[in-house]
């Protein structure tokens, strides 16, 4: 199952385990069970701390549970955790084997102190770049607290179960049989949902923080670059981010990050966060900004957060990024995560053999249609313009696929459903005016990004598109407030451009600090 190089790497990792790891496999006669059996035998081969017991049948086959003798751990993988989830498997083995987590000690204690019984079930797909964060978070929680159980389930392998529970996006998390959440979540976010007092405690901690020299709002590429450049100047720097990594976390393949031929969004986001933490930067994650108050007599810009706390700083850098643009048609919100999706890599496998539509004929839309065509029965690509806007090479590939239909000059007007899931959509022919109904089970929206700037209206000058208006130094209309990245009027929304703009904004903020702190020259001083 595993090649020689991977076995060698795995052997080195598993040497970090300090206690026995026992695996119980639940198998049947399927090909998937045979593959799992092969994988577990390879794991046993590379570490003498691993033992394996095989059983026929079980709640889900194939599946396997991990535990350590003398420790009350309830952690199960249903399916074959390869692809993006192979890292989740390796981490689970290490943590069950007693290797300590890098998680902050206060969060670890918070997990251990959770009362009650929690049985989590997470549905993932092997191509989902968002799923490992959830799987790894809940696995770790299951290792730390015996009251927490976690089963990670490959939705593509257990298709019937997915349909019965109406899982139409991944990751989807069930807690004690009820939907707990969908989409990317880290440990701190999950714990905050379970520990209802966590938000209040965090707000009190934030209220007690001293003012910053530079406060960065947003933790994407622009925000990370700004924080690093500010911290390198030796000034007090803070970052308040709703989710560190931003839109990069939702990106699959990155092949235009100069000097790095290929990487993936979550990997790059993790590297950005680690680089920021290498400096003396106060990182406040899971914090959403709601209001900006320009500097008054004290010279401090104030940022109010959603949890009720506020932060003060001599300068602020806005790098709030952007989010997926919605169609804003009837039915879209009602059927979000019930057939309406925004990540084809994540959710595509759940629509195996079904009919889907892709909305948008740019590079993202055409790439999505190409990828989905290899999984689903039929793809209908709908483009508002009279022609596709994607690169020519992508268009040629798209038109070569037999199960793809392209509709141009079409405006989607409604998402249809039966109350629980999507059943189709309606579009209007912009040339003739006729309306058409398309029967399908999934809709993937790929129509660009919308800046996260609503909270700045009336305070900072925004463009008609809602972007923060900046000059060539990153300065906004508010003194001491700078901006960078996809939320601004800078053209070409690219990772490398955002990083450059974040660096520039930090240098401009530092220059502002120097100039604003310089003593005022008096007439007597000039005469002397």
Token couple for 125: 């797909």
Does the pLDDT of residue 182 top 60, yes or no? yes
Distance CA 417, CA 77 (A): 33
Confidence label for 379 from pLDDT (cuts 50, 70 and 90) = very high
201-323+450-517: CATH number: 3.50.50.60
Order of all β-strands in the sheet with 442-445 = 340-341, 442-445, 355-359, 378-382, 404-407
Count the Cβ atoms, other than its own, within 10 Å of residue 18. Answer: 12
Please determine, looking at this structure, whether the domain spanning 340-447 carries the CATH number 3.50.50.60. Answer: yes
Provide the b/e sequence for 21-40 (b: ≥16 CB within 10 Å): bbbbbbbeeeeebeebbebb
Does the pLDDT of residue 521 top 80, yes or no? no
Task: Give the pLDDT confidence score for residue 141 in this predicted structure.
Answer: 98
Confidence label for 253 from pLDDT (cuts 50, 70 and 90) = confident
% of the chain beyond a pLDDT of 70:
98
Does the pLDDT of residue 525 top 80, yes or no? no
Side-chain half-sphere CA neighbours of 331 within 13 A: 19
Distance CA 345, CA 1 (A): 24
Confidence label for 221 from pLDDT (cuts 50, 70 and 90) = very high
Token couple for 166: 């109406």
* CB neighbour class for 341 (10 Å; exposed up to 12, middle 13-18, buried from 19): buried
4-196: CATH number: 3.40.30.80
**CATH 3.50.50.60 domain locations along the chain:** 201-323+450-517, 340-447
CB contact at 8 A, 131 and 85: yes
Distance CA 511, CA 232 (A): 14
Task: Give the pLDDT confidence score for residue 196 in this predicted structure.
Answer: 79
The mean of the pLDDT values for the chain is: 94
Confidence label for 388 from pLDDT (cuts 50, 70 and 90) = very high
Task: Give the pLDDT confidence score for residue 234 in this predicted structure.
Answer: 96
Count the Cβ atoms, other than its own, within 10 Å of residue 58. Answer: 17
* Cis preceding-peptide flag for 197 (omega within 30 of 0): no
Task: Give the pLDDT confidence score for residue 250 in this predicted structure.
Answer: 80
Task: Give the pLDDT confidence score for residue 507 in this predicted structure.
Answer: 98
Confidence label for 91 from pLDDT (cuts 50, 70 and 90) = very high
**Higher pLDDT pick, 263 / 251:** 263
**DSSP 8-state secondary structure symbol assigned to residue 361:** -
DSSP string, 202-223: HHHHHHTPPPEEEEEE--SHHH
Kindly tell me the number of DSSP H helices and DSSP E strands found in the chain: 15, 27
Read off the pLDDT of residues 329-365 as tens digits, 9 standing for 90 and up. 999 999 999 999 998 988 999 999 999 999 999 999 9
Task: Give the pLDDT confidence score for residue 157 in this predicted structure.
Answer: 94
Task: Give the pLDDT confidence score for residue 524 in this predicted structure.
Answer: 53
What residues have CB less than 8 Å from 425, skipping those under 6 apart? 357, 382, 412, 414, 415, 416, 437, 438, 440, 443
Does the pLDDT of residue 528 top 60, yes or no? no
**CATH 3.40.30.80 domain locations along the chain:** 4-196
- Of 250-264, 459-473, 504-518, the poorest mean pLDDT is in 250-264
Cα-based distances in Å from 35 to 9, 52, 60, 319, 378: 20, 15, 15, 45, 29
Task: Give the pLDDT confidence score for residue 61 in this predicted structure.
Answer: 97
Does the pLDDT of residue 527 top 80, yes or no? no
Task: Give the pLDDT confidence score for residue 518 in this predicted structure.
Answer: 62
Distance CA 65, CA 72 (A): 12
Side-chain half-sphere CA neighbours of 251 within 13 A: 25
The owner of tokens 């009350």 is 72
**DSSP 8-state secondary structure symbol assigned to residue 349:** G
Task: Give the pLDDT confidence score for residue 345 in this predicted structure.
Answer: 83
Read off the pLDDT of residues 433-454 as tens digits, 9 standing for 90 and up. 999 999 999 999 999 889 999 9
CA-CA-CA-CA dihedral for 106, 108, 114, 118, to nearest 10: 150
Token couple for 456: 């700045």
Distance CA 380, CA 403 (A): 9
The mean per-residue pLDDT over the stretch 301-314 comes to 97
The mean per-residue pLDDT over the stretch 44-67 comes to 96
């Amino acid at each position: 199952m595993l090649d020689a190089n991977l076995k060698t790497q795995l052997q080195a990792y598993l040497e970090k385990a300090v206690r026995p790891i026992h695996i119980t496999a639940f198998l049947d006669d399927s090909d998937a069970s045979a593959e799992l059996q092969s994988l577990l035998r390879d794991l046993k081969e590379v570490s003498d701390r691993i033992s394996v017991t095989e059983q026929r049948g079980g709640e889900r086959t194939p599946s396997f549970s991990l535990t350590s003798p003398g420790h009350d751990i309830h952690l199960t993988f249903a399916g074959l955790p390869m692809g993006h989830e192979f890292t989740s498997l390796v981490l689970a083995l290490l943590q069950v084997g007693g290797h300590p987590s890098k998680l902050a000690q206060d969060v670890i204690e918070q997990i251990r102190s959770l009362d009650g019984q929690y049985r989590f079930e997470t549905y993932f797909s092997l191509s989902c770049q968002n799923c490992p964060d959830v799987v790894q978070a809940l696995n770790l929680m299951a290792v730390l607290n015996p009251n927490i159980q976690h089963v990670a389930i490959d939705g593509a392998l257990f298709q019937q179960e997915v349909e019965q529970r109406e899982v139409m996006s991944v990751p989807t998390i069930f807690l004690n049989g009820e939907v707990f959440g969908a989409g990317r979540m880290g440990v701190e976010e999950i714990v905050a949902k379970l520990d209802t007092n966590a938000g209040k405690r965090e707000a009190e901690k934030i209220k007690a923080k001293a003012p910053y020299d530079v406060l960065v709002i947003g933790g994407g590429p622009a925000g990370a670059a700004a924080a690093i450049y500010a911290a390198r100047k030796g000034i007090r720097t803070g970052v308040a981010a709703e989710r560190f990594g931003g839109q990069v976390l939702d990106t699959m393949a990155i092949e235009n990050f100069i000097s790095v031929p290929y990487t993936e969004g979550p990997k790059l986001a993790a590297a950005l966060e680690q680089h920021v933490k290498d400096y003396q930067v106060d990182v406040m994650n899971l914090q959403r900004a709601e209001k900006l108050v320009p500097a008054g007599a004290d010279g401090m810009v104030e940022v109010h957060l959603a949890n009720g706390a506020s932060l003060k700083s001599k300068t602020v850098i806005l790098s709030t990024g952007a989010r997926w643009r919605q169609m804003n048609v009837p039915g879209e919100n009602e059927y979000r995560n019930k057939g309406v999706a925004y990540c084809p890599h994540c959710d595509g496998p759940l629509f195996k053999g079904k009919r889907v539509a892709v909305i948008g004929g740019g590079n993202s839309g055409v790439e999505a249609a190409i990828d989905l065509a290899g999984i689903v029965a039929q793809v209908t690509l709908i483009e508002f313009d009279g022609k596709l806007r994607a690169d020519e090479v992508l268009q040629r590939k798209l038109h070569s696929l037999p199960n793809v239909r392209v509709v141009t000059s079409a405006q989607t007007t409604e998402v249809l459903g039966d109350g629980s899931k999507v059943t189709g959509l309606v579009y209007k022919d912009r040339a003739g005016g006729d309306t058409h109904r398309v029967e399908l089970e999934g809709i993937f929206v790929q129509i660009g990004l919308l800046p996260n700037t609503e909270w700045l209206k009336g305070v900072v000058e925004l463009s008609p598109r809602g972007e923060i208006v900046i000059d060539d130094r990153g300065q906004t209309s508010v003194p001491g407030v700078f901006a960078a990245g996809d939320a601004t009027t800078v053209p070409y929304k690219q990772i490398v451009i955002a990083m450059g703009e974040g660096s520039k904004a930090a240098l401009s903020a530092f220059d502002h600090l120097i100039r604003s702190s310089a003593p005022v020259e008096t007439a007597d001083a000039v005469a002397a």
